[in-house]
């Protein structure tokens, strides 16, 4: 069986608990909705944050909205000169066997600049 992944990212305006919470939940809900997935379809999620985000782990909010069985991991994104600041990225591993052509990657707010090839 093939396993597929969904990529996504968002940006926050400031390194605050509330801002990270709001934008993380928005991103995760968008991924579920646009890919017609249930929380139980998710095997694991890797979160990365740029070094300017350290107020709270984004995975905390995945747990709060029901991702209780998925494995979650937070890491710091590699620092690259002139890269996007205040960015949270996700890599979601799916349990179900969806068609790769049906996967909808989600890039919100300033993170849309990371993937100009998708809308």
| Enzyme catalytic residues | 7, 63, 74, 77, 89, 107, 115
The residue among 101, 97, 31, 103 whose CA lies nearest residue 67 is: 31
Distance CA 105, CA 51 (A): 23
Residues contacting residue 79 through CB under 8 Å, at least 6 positions apart: 50, 51
7 DSSP β-pair partners:
91
Q: Find the distance separating the first CA and the last CA of the chain, reported in whole Å.
A: 29
């Amino acid at each position: 069986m093939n396993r597929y992944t969904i990529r996504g990212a968002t940006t926050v305006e400031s390194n605050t608990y509330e801002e990270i919470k709001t934008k993380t939940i928005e991103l995760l809900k968008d991924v579920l909705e646009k890919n017609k997935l249930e929380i139980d379809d998710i095997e694991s999620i890797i979160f990365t944050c740029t070094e300017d985000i350290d107020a709270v782990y984004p995975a905390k909010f995945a747990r709060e909205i029901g991702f209780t069985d998925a494995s979650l991991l937070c890491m710091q994104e590699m620092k690259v000169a002139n890269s996007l600041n205040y960015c949270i990225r996700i890599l979601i591993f799916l349990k179900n066997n969806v068609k790769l052509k049906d996967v909808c990657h989600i890039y919100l707010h300033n993170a849309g600049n990371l993937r100009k090839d998708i809308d």
